[in-house]
A = this chain, B = another copy of it.
Amino acid sequence: NLEELRGSLAAFAAARDWDQFHTPRSLALALTGEVGELCECFQWRGDAACAPGLPGWTDADRTHLGEEMADVLMYLVRLADRSGIDLPAACAAKLERNGQKYP
């Protein structure tokens, strides 16, 4: 649940006095860093070795990829929160727009 995640991350940051660092532009740069780490998981494998479901990947590879995905999600949720953007509402609006754009 995105709203629960938002609350957890806000509490986590507040307890560590991190709000001073978690400005929108800093979080956008941190998000870019995490997306870069996510891309590194895929970079040298080729499409054939990255078929849907990632069949040949080890459990360690999968766990690592999941961690990078989680980092991206957490910085995105935190960035939305610190920007005053309602991410679930923005997502619902975008889904509706996509439905109109690609009927």
A102 to chain B, nearest CB (A): 6
In the assembled complex, which residues on chain B have CB atoms less than 8 Å from the CB atom of A83? Answer: 52-54, 65
Complex CA gap A34/B99 in Å reads: 18
* Size bracket of the A interface: 35 or more
A59 to chain B, nearest CB (A): 12
Complex CA gap A102/B14 in Å reads: 13
**A62-93 interface bits toward B, Cβ cutoff 8 Å, 1 = contact, 0 = none:** 10011101111110100110111111011101
> What residues of chain A have their CB less than 8 Å away from a CB belonging to chain B?
1-2, 5, 8, 12, 16, 19, 21, 23-26, 28-40, 42-48, 50-54, 62, 65-67, 69-74, 76, 79-80, 82-87, 89-91, 93-95, 97-99, 102
